[in-house]
Amino acid sequence: MAFPLQRPRRLRANDFSRRLVREHRLSADDLIYPVFILESEQDREPIASMPGIERLGRDPLFETAELCLELGIPALALFPVVPAERKSEEAKEAWQHDALVQTRVSQLKERFPELGIITDVALDPFTSHGLDGLVDEDGYVLNDETVDVLVRQALSHARAGADVVAPSDMMDGRVGAIRRALEEEGFSRVSILAYSAKYASAFYGPFRDAVGSAASLGKSGKESFQMDPGNSDEALHEVALDLDEGADMVMVKPAMPYLDILRRVKDRFQRPTLAYQVSGEYAMLHAAAANGWLDGDKVMMEALLSIKRAGADAILSYAAIDIARRLRS
- DSSP label at 51? T
Q: What is the CATH number of the domain that holds 117?
A: 3.20.20.70
Please give the pLDDT value at position 217.
59
Beta strands in 28-115 (DSSP E): 31-37, 44-46, 54-56, 75-80
Give a yes or no: residue 227 inside a domain. Answer: yes
- The predicted pLDDT at position 212 comes to 72
- 1 lies in some domain: no
Intra-chain end-to-end CA distance of the chain, in Å: 46
Indicate the pLDDT class of residue 3, thresholds 50, 70 and 90: confident
Q: What is the pLDDT of residue 215?
A: 61
Alpha helices in 72-124 (DSSP H): 100-111
Confidence of residue 32 (pLDDT cuts 50, 70, 90): very high
| Beta strand ranges found along the chain (DSSP E) | 31-37, 44-46, 54-56, 75-80, 116-121, 164-167, 191-198, 249-253, 273-277, 314-317
**266 an active-site residue?**
no
Residue 198: active-site member:
yes
Band of the pLDDT at 282, cuts 50, 70, 90?
Answer: very high
Coil, strand or helix at 28: helix
**Model confidence pLDDT, tens digit, residues 61-110:** 999 999 999 999 999 999 999 999 999 999 999 999 999 999 999 999 99
Q: Residue 318: inside a domain, yes or no?
A: yes
For residue 126, being part of any structural domain is answered with yes
**For range 296-309, the mean pLDDT:** 97
Torsion sign across C-alpha atoms 229, 281, 220, 245:
negative
The whole-model pTM stands at 0.95
Residue 62 lies in a domain: yes
Out of 198, 222, 266, 308, the active site residue is: 198
- The predicted model gives 270-282 an average pLDDT of 97
Q: Is residue 12 part of a domain?
A: no
Secondary structure letter of residue 141 according to DSSP:
B
| Best CA proximity match to 146, nearest among 134, 128, 130 | 134
Q: What percent of the chain has pLDDT over 70?
A: 98
| Inside any domain, residue 300 | yes
**Structural domains in the chain (count):** 1
Closest C-alpha among 37, 220, 249 to residue 125: 37
Which residue from 274, 248, 249 is spatially nearest to 261, judged by alpha carbons? 274
- The Cβ of residue 38 has, within 10 Å, a number of other Cβ atoms equal to 22
Catalytic residue among 87, 222, 253, 266: 253
Q: Which pLDDT score is estimated for 290?
A: 95
Number of helices followed by number of strands (H, E) in the chain = 12, 10
pLDDT over 90 for what percent of the chain? Answer: 91
* Predicted confidence band of residue 208 (pLDDT cuts 50, 70, 90): confident
Average pLDDT in the 146-167 region?
A: 98
Please give the residue range of the domain that contains residue 69: 26-328
Contact 123, 150 (CB under 8 A): yes
Residue 13 forms part of a structural domain? no
Query: Alpha-carbon distance 153 to 60, whole Å?
Result: 25
Average pLDDT on 296-316 reads 97
Identify whether the C-beta of residue 211 lies closer than 8 Å to the C-beta of residue 217.
no
